[in-house]
């Protein structure tokens, strides 16, 4: 992840949404070199989603919202023309978790998407049907 975050060509982007982020060895935290243009945004406990936010976006214009499900993070941005929500969702694979866990992740959406503002949903729902 470090070479990606150090790439100067990415500095034109505002937000990077990551699923299954790389972790620092032996530490439950994401990789984010101090000398890059990005600030890591994650919940108190690292789940399978995080954001990297370009440091040029003022902290006063953004806030991170967590849920009781570790694999969902929402980023609220106060733009000049209103509020924009970016929701980063990882739904566990059918092979890796019980179906109740997968449904629990999806049940958060009606409440989440009812919040004031525009919404962008970035997801890996792991919902597929075998042929």
Digit-coded pLDDT (tens) for 14-52: 998 888 776 666 666 666 666 778 888 888 877 788 898
Sign of the Cα torsion 51, 61, 86, 64 reads positive
Write down the pLDDT at residue 94.
Answer: 66
Decide: 52 and 71 in contact? Cβ < 8 Å.
Answer: no
Domain 2-124 CATH superfamily: Endonuclease/exonuclease/phosphatase (3.60.10.10)
pLDDT at res. 131: 46
Q: Read off the pTM.
A: 0.80
The whole-number pLDDT of residue 43 equals: 81
pLDDT confidence of residue 109: 80
Residues 6+ away with beta carbon under 8 Å from 90: 19, 20, 47, 48, 49, 71, 72, 105, 123, 124, 126
Name the range with the highest mean pLDDT among 34-43, 107-116, 122-131: 107-116
């Amino acid at each position: 992840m470090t070479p990606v975050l150090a790439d100067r060509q990415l500095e034109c982007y505002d937000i990077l949404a990551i699923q299954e982020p790389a972790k620092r060895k032996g530490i439950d935290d994401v990789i984010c070199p101090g000398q890059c243009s990005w600030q890591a945004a994650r919940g108190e406990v690292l789940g399978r989603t995080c954001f990297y936010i370009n440091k040029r976006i003022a902290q006063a214009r953004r806030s991170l919202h967590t849920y009781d499900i570790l694999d969902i993070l929402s980023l609220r941005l106060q733009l000049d023309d209103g509020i924009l929500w970016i929701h980063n969702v990882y739904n566990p694979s059918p092979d890796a978790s019980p179906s109740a866990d997968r449904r629990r992740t999806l049940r958060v959406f009606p409440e989440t998407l009812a919040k004031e503002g525009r919404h962008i949903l970035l997801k890996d729902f792991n919902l597929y049907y075998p042929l």
